[in-house]
Amino acid sequence: MVTAASDREDAVSYVSLYRKYRPQTFAEVIGQDHVTTTLAAAVVEGRPHHAYLFTGPRGTGKTSTARILAKSLNCEAGPTATPDNTCPQCVAVTNGSSVDVLEIDAASHGGVDDVRELRERVTFAPIAARTKVYIVDECHMLSTAGWNAFLKTVEEPPGHVVFIFATTEPHKVPPTILSRTQRFDFRRLPADVLAGQCNQLGQLEGLEFEAGAVDLIVRAGDGSSRDTLSVLDQVTAFTGAHVTLAGVAEVLGSVPDELLVETADAIADGDVPRLCLLVGRLADAGIDLRQYAKDAVEHLRSLFLLQVAPDSALVETTPERLARLSAQAGRLGRVELLRAIELLAEAQAAMRRGNTRLPLEIALVKAALPEAAGDPAALAARLDRLELRIGLESAVSPSTPASTPTATPTPAPDPTDTPAPRISEAPPPSRPPAPVGRPAAQVTAIPADSPSPPVAVDLGLVQASWTAVLDALKVRKRTLAAQLTEGSAVALDGGVLTVSFRAGYGFHAGEVVREEFAPLFAEVFTTLFGVPLRLRSVVHEPADSAAGNSTEERRYVEQAADVAEAEAAEQAGDVPDAEVAHDQAVETLQRTLGATVLEEVRPTS
Ligand SMILES: [Zn+2]
């Protein structure tokens, strides 16, 4: 069956924005310049192809462009790249009443009979227009018989006919047809283009958008112009001309960006009370917690993508939102992000089965408190968090001791009682040592951008963070880090950390406790744990030293070579910069879990 073009539109009583603002000229088709300029040129030069294949995601302008091409070819003022849209030919195409521009919807009909009928009709010259145009929508739905019937016509087209096949699934189009068509790939529309379209139509329609409302609409439109405008329709039907963020969120059931940003911030800060309050607020506001969990996963995923590939444009969004996401991405470590995503994804499954609030809260608390969980992923997330702080520290002052004034001096305290201005953008400045022995629950509630890291230090944490300690030390003094590598933390008492070295490492044991290095260790431990631990070293003599001798010797030689190499590098000024140190830290992070397990099974005396 051949139907008039507009019959396929959704039957709605009002004129939808999509229909009202459907592009009527090549210039009005947004985001597909690579297609429209080529087509316009072909019309102007009087050399249109006889068969086109338009591919691309739904709602990106394929059918609109096909109709504009039909008008360009048949406009009484043409053929022209700028059809007037007023002559009877143009109007007939716009209305879907043209007898010479025909649309076949392969999705709603099998197509065989249509194509037979078409094949018979195609031999007749156009009735009123210059060119007959057949627009075959969803052409991938045509049956094999349908395509075969078509092939004959496409192979030997009568001069007065142009075919336009449109599809979202070009791989289903038979190669014999593909090879006889000129193909144009319509692109998914970038978020900023769609946002521009929303704002432009908003002006024409007298709409006012609250900040962030367009972001949400575009997010729901998912790269499709048609879907974006239909979302805008739904939203304005509810909110009226003043499009509020809350209104959009309610219609779409989506979660405002600021709540997702707040979620990620609270996870980064280990701020459990804030997360629980947030869930309470969501529930009170009637926001679907399942939708929230879904959006939070998407948000964290965006942060992760921005971390691993900041310049790859993997995150599709408006430039404003991208800037906000990028600013937040550096606050969480990769492992920490992945763990949070996993926890929330698991929670989503549990939330589908029944209670929504409890699994969500548990997942958020776990994500915020890697200290509270003993699984390897939590440990890795915990180290990730430490490593992130080392990165920040070394980026600020790669080699200056903690007592040096920082690059961002804080203003002198105001004599009056007004609160000090909050410096949120600056990386954490060097800081005074935090008091020892604070309760963990209290400590974890401190935001990460506040001077003290929220870490409660005990022997277990120092052991688990040993690689992070070595990495932090490496940035400051390589040789010292190399010497400490063979030691292992065995006791922590009264701010004194005991490091045990095996037999044959007496030299190393002596070096690491030299008085001149004490400030360096104090700085590293303060950075990592908020406490300036002091170092004590012991050399452990194994009971069966005879049996272990050759191994020990070999290790000693290896170790000495490492130290010599590190010393040479240090003298050559080859001190790793922050980026290299970061990469090293990430690499050693991979090894840390294994190393930790070994240390646990090794006898400690
Ligand atoms: Zn015209």
pLDDT category at 24 given cuts 50, 70, 90 is: very high
* Predicted pLDDT at 195: 93
* Residues 2, 136: Cα–Cα separation, whole Å: 10
* Predicted pLDDT at 265: 92
41 CA from centroid of ligand 1 (Å): 17
Averaged over 406-423, what is the pLDDT? 39
pLDDT category at 543 given cuts 50, 70, 90 is: low
Quick check: 501 pLDDT over 60? yes
538 forms beta bridges with 500
Averaged over 50-64, what is the pLDDT? 92
Rounded to the nearest angstrom, the gap between the alpha carbon of residue 281 and the centroid of all alpha carbons in its chain is 25
pLDDT category at 557 given cuts 50, 70, 90 is: low
Pairing of strands 101-105, 208-209: unpaired
Averaged over 493-521, what is the pLDDT? 87
Averaged over 158-163, what is the pLDDT? 84
CB environment 192-227: b (16+ within 10 A), e (fewer)? bbbbbbbeebbeeeebebeebbbbbbbbbbbbbbbb
* Predicted pLDDT at 142: 80
101 CA from centroid of ligand 1 (Å): 13
Residue identified by tokens 């009264």 is 494
Pairing of strands 208-209, 242-243: parallel
* Predicted pLDDT at 406: 38
Averaged over 242-253, what is the pLDDT? 85
Three-state SS letters, 119-141: HHHHCCCCCCCCCEEEEEECHHH
72 CA from centroid of ligand 1 (Å): 8
Q: Could you tell me how many residues make up the chain?
A: 605
Identify the three-state secondary structure at position 293: helix
- Whole-number percent of the chain with pLDDT over 70: 71
Quick check: 524 and 482 in contact, CB under 8 A? no
pLDDT category at 356 given cuts 50, 70, 90 is: confident
156 CA from centroid of ligand 1 (Å): 29
45 CA from centroid of ligand 1 (Å): 18
Write the pLDDT tens digit of every residue in 78-92.
789 999 999 999 999
Contacts (Cβ under 8 Å, ≥6 apart) of 40: 26, 72, 81
71 CA from centroid of ligand 1 (Å): 6
**All residues with CB under 5 Å from ion ligand 1:** 75, 83-84, 87, 90
Pick from 6-15, 166-175, 372-381 the range whose average pLDDT is largest. 166-175
Averaged over 140-149, what is the pLDDT? 78
Q: Helices (H), strands (E): how many in the chain?
A: 26, 10
Quick check: 503 pLDDT over 50? yes
Read out DSSP for 557-600? Answer: HHHHHHHHHHHHHHHTT----HHHHHHHHHHHHHHHHHHHHHHH
Query: Looking at per-residue confidence, does 431 or 251 come out higher?
Result: 251
Domains and CATH numbers, the chain: 5-185 (3.40.50.300), 191-252 (1.10.8.60), 257-368 (1.20.272.10), 457-601 (3.30.300.180)
73 CA from centroid of ligand 1 (Å): 9
Query: Looking at per-residue confidence, does 574 or 501 come out higher?
Result: 501
* Residues 389, 366: Cα–Cα separation, whole Å: 20
* Predicted pLDDT at 432: 39
Question: Is residue 114 exposed (0-12), middle (13-18) or buried (19+ Cβ within 10 Å)?
Answer: buried
Quick check: 401 and 433 in contact, CB under 8 A? no
465 CA from centroid of ligand 1 (Å): 74
Identify the three-state secondary structure at position 4: coil
Rg from Cα positions in the chain: 33
Write the pLDDT tens digit of every residue in 297-341.
999 999 998 888 877 677 777 777 888 888 888 888 888 889 899
Pairing of strands 488-493, 496-502: antiparallel
Average pLDDT, the chain: 75
40 CA from centroid of ligand 1 (Å): 15
Quick check: 468 pLDDT over 70? yes
Query: Looking at per-residue confidence, does 400 or 471 come out higher?
Result: 471
pLDDT category at 483 given cuts 50, 70, 90 is: confident
Averaged over 36-41, what is the pLDDT? 94
Averaged over 578-592, what is the pLDDT? 41
pLDDT category at 376 given cuts 50, 70, 90 is: low
pLDDT category at 410 given cuts 50, 70, 90 is: very low
163 forms beta bridges with 51, 134
* Predicted pLDDT at 579: 45
Averaged over 219-243, what is the pLDDT? 90
* Residues 283, 291: Cα–Cα separation, whole Å: 12
pTM score: 0.54
Quick check: 207 and 236 in contact, CB under 8 A? yes
Quick check: 145 pLDDT over 60? yes
91 CA from centroid of ligand 1 (Å): 7
* Predicted pLDDT at 221: 87
* Predicted pLDDT at 324: 83
88 CA from centroid of ligand 1 (Å): 7
* Predicted pLDDT at 15: 78
Read out DSSP for 158-218? Answer: -TTEEEEEEES-GGGS-HHHHTTSEEEEPPPPPHHHHHHHHHHHHHHHT-EE-TTHHHHHH
83 CA from centroid of ligand 1 (Å): 5
pLDDT category at 452 given cuts 50, 70, 90 is: very low
76 CA from centroid of ligand 1 (Å): 5
Averaged over 206-211, what is the pLDDT? 90
84 CA from centroid of ligand 1 (Å): 4
Pick from 64-78, 443-457, 551-565 the range whose average pLDDT is largest. 64-78
Contacts (Cβ under 8 Å, ≥6 apart) of 25: 68, 82, 83, 85
Quick check: 476 and 393 in contact, CB under 8 A? no
Quick check: 444 and 272 in contact, CB under 8 A? yes
93 CA from centroid of ligand 1 (Å): 9
Quick check: 563 pLDDT over 70? no
